[in-house]
Amino acid sequence: MNRLKKLSSIILSIPAVCIVAVFAFAQHTVNKAPDFTLTDVQGKKISLSDYQGKVVYIDFWATWCGPCMAEMPHGKKLRELYKNNSDIVFMYVSFDNDYTLKTWEKYVKKNTDGAIHLYSDQGKIDSVLTKYNVQYIPRYVLIDKKGNIAYKEAASPSQTELVCKQINELLKESY
């Protein structure tokens, strides 16, 4: 009788183990940062995957977005804190449109200082927005060294202490 009880409890636990295994696999798949390729201010194509092995802080923004522009001076200070660390990349993905493209180009040429500025031209804006579920800007995402989304809602540059804590945690991880 005891053997039958043990056998039935094992059989009953199998579906739970399978569900946990499927959920764990799904979680891993969901956390992988979707790759994208966009254009920088010089017209060069840059991909997120070019920075595999580095922590990537992505800032989704636009020049017409007041809160985005208010964060830019804080972003500059944040980049200054990490200027000697080659394991962190600051990537700015702009959602400017054809009407504001010249404004974006002018701003970026004046404010490049170690940041990667990309333009999500109309053909690719929807795919990047969808891939990262960007429903508002500014929005910040932190990618770990393995190419996973570590923080889909990372702290803003003006939250210096918190964003540094998030970045430093990821920099400690090995690739």
Distance of CA 58 to the CA centre of its chain: 5
Phi, psi for 46 (deg, rounded to 5): -125, 135
Per the annotation, the verdict on 164 as an active-site residue is: no
For the chain, helix (H) and strand (E) counts, in that order, are: 5, 7
Say if residues 78 and 161 touch (Cβ distance below 8 Å).
Answer: no
Choice among 65, 101, 129, 171 that is catalytic: 65
Classify burial at 23, counting beta carbons within 10 Å of its beta carbon; exposed 0-12, middle 13-18, buried 19 or more. Answer: exposed
Choice among 68, 78, 150, 170 that is catalytic: 68
Angle at which helix 160-172 crosses helix 66-81, to 10 degrees, equals 50
Tokens of 167: 């970045």
Residues marked as catalytic: 65, 68
